[in-house]
Amino acid sequence: MSTVVGLTGVTKEYPGGVSALRGVDLTVEEGELLGIVGPSGSGKSTLLHIIGTLDRPTAGSVHIAGHDVAKLSDRRLSALRAQHVGFVFQAFHLVPGVSARDNVAEGLLYSGLSRTVRRRRAAAALERVGLADRLDHRPHQLSGGQKQRVAIARAVVGEPALLLADEPTGALDSASGAAVMELLRDLNQEGATIAVITHDTEIAGRLPREVRIRDGEVVADTGDAVSAHGVGAAR
Amino acid sequence: MTRRLKAARLGPRDVLHVGSAGLRSRPMRVVLSALGIAIGIATMISVVGISASSQAQLLRELDKLGTNLLVASPGESMFAGEDVKLPEESVGMVGRIDGVQDVGATGDLDASVRRNEKIDEGDTGGIVVKATTEDLLKVLRGEIGSGSWLNDATGRYPSVVLGHVSAKRLGITGPGRQVWIGDRYFTVVGILAPLPLAPEIERSALVGWTGAKRLLDFDGHPTSVYERSTDASVGDVRKVMGATVDPRNPQNVKVSDPSSALRAKAATEGAFSSLLLGLGGIALLVGGVGVANTMIISVLERRYEIGLRRSLGATRGQIRIQFVTESLMLSGLGGLAGVALGATATGVYAGSGGLPWVVPLWAVSGGFAATLAIGTVAGLYPAIRASRLSPTLALHAA
């Protein structure tokens, strides 16, 4: 087992003195499925951006898939995202008017693979999420749950070290939401490391590990790994 | 695990694909913003094309008329007021120059031509009465519009051939009519077709050489000697022509080459109006501003897409190249449409005027290069803005 995410003393302050994160320590090992949960304004979105290397902390160190983010240029950071991080968004962010297959293949665009390989892998990824019969459907022909599955396929098609899902069920009804969570659990069973960011304690509570965030600090972590403030206590 | 991170390059096909994605999703906007560029390029291409076509037409005409015609006429005398004339025998002398094929001559007469005797003598309408040798028409490669040319028989009697301008001025449309020359009526036997190489003949009334001597007191001294030689010997003939025409006073003879005047005219026709070209340039510039505008809006609208691409691993450079490519394609489309439009406009103009259809390659390639330059410049600022967008902000925007 190796460490996929390693945060130590991560602090993020925005201009004007607002602190979104205050000294967060978080370690995620390979193969974990965890929920990062907190009310809006707790700093969980900022945490997502920092783990996803879309933003850099003002203090503290961030290691993703063994790379020290602070030492990477924008180019290398982009390559890190291309190779090691997959994102799933609440709003899906599919390209309108483009088939499900090509939307998924877009996830490999910046990986350096040829178009043929990208499309072949995209088909396999769609099959994996149960949409083998929807390869040529365009986003407007798909239900919300199907769209989110396409987005998940796009995130996992490059076999990233870490899958970050930001409120993946936020725009879905409960049945589709449950199906999406089931899919994430299955993917985790097959070895994917997944972090689900949500405000929904119910969803987070059903995941093997739950990290609670409030006011920019980790207030609870059910994980066995080294945790913030040494709080290993379960609920 | 810590293998070196290296951003992958996008292949040319992928760059085109990514760059055209935005265009494909908004075809109407593409048409409208490419239109500005298209109008600018079309203006420039048609201005250049139409001038080039007119020029080609003149040069083609020139080819047909030949560039081997020389005209000798009396120059300015050194003594003011002295009437300079060419010697009577000069026509025969020129005919003996090596390489000369045909010689013809005209001699100006004092008489004027009028519709009838009641019209005032001073009212010449700018028409000159000339005596002419029979060979003149052959030398000029002229053609008879209607009627016939002067011959041995008609040249002796009061008959006249009118240049096409003089016929129009006299209001005469065909042979058979009579005009008043000197003190008697002459019968119009023919009217000449236009003679681009000899506009002075177009504005003349031509009377036979012998007839003029007999009826109009012509002294037999030619005013202009026209000769046609082989193409190869034009230069040599030109050198000796002055001395041949008037061996005693060669300095009094002016030798001219009517085709050079026509060639100069062709050059002026080819010099397109810089004003129109400037207008085209302004249209092109405005088109470029339109493209820049469209690109800025496109970047604003697609913040989330930019954020998504960054999260998928696009580098700043790859975002930049995506939007520059989009801008290039937008203006390139406009440029292509403009070239097609300009070439068509030139074709329509040439077709309606019976001109050859000429669209110079340098104008097409230059116009296209200009659109690409404009596309790059117009796309650069929006692209840089797009690449500097924070990925997190972009994701929030959706």
DSSP string of B131-147?
EE-TTHHHHHT--EEEE
B113 lies in the same domain as B245:
yes
Compute the distance between CA of residue B202 and CA of residue B162 in angstroms, rounded to an integer. Answer: 8
pLDDT exceeds 80 at position B368: yes
Average pLDDT, chain A: 90
Q: Check whether residue B318 and residue B251 sit in a common domain.
A: no
Total-model pTM:
0.74
CB pairs under 8 A between A and B: 100
B75 and B206 in a single domain? The answer is: yes
3-state secondary structure of B200: helix
Please tell me whether residues B57 and B73 are part of one structural domain.
Answer: no
**B276-290: average pLDDT:** 88
Q: If you average pLDDT over each of A20-29, B150-159, B274-283, which comes out highest?
A: A20-29
Nearest to B14 among A76, A95, A109 (CB): A109
Which pair of structure tokens corresponds to residue A148?
């989110």
Cβ-defined contact of A52 to B14 (cutoff 8 Å): no
Residue B296: count of CB within 10 angstroms of its CB: 17
B234 with B311, same domain: the answer is no
Q: pLDDT tens across B197-222, in order?
A: 888 899 999 999 988 888 888 888 89
User: What local confidence, expressed as pLDDT, does residue B246 receive?
Assistant: 85
- Residue that is written with structure tokens 């396999």 in the block: A124
Query: What is the dotted CATH code of the domain comprising A3-230?
Result: 3.40.50.300
Q: How many domains does chain B have?
A: 2
Are B194 and B335 in the same domain?
A: no
> Which among B220, B235, B257 is the end of a domain?
B257
Distance in Å, alpha carbon of A234 to nearest chain B alpha carbon: 32
Last residue within a domain, chosen from B225, B257, B289: B257
pLDDT of A49 strictly over 80:
yes
CB contact under 8 A, A112 and B315: no
| pLDDT digits 0-9 by tens, B54-111 | 888 888 877 777 778 888 888 766 665 556 778 888 888 888 888 888 999 999 888 8
Q: What ipTM does the predicted assembly reach?
A: 0.89
- Give the model's pLDDT for residue A235: 36
**pLDDT given for residue B292 in this prediction:** 92
Note whether residue B117 is domain-resident.
Answer: yes
Interchain CB contact of A106 with B (< 8 Å): yes
Looking at the fold, whether B283 and B231 belong to one and the same domain comes out as: no
The reply to whether B3 touches chain A by the CB within 8 Å rule is no
Tell me the average pLDDT across A85-109.
91
- Looking at residues B329-343, what average pLDDT do you find? 94
With contact defined as beta carbons under 8 Å apart, do B178 and B185 qualify? yes
Distance in Å from the first CA to the final CA of chain A: 26
pLDDT value of residue B60: 82
Show the domain range for B126.
68-257
User: What pLDDT, in 10s, does the model give residues A140-187?
Assistant: 999 999 999 999 999 999 999 999 999 999 889 999 999 999 999 999
Task: Indicate whether B237 pLDDT > 70.
Answer: yes
Name the 3-class secondary structure at A193: coil
Per-residue pLDDT at B38:
93
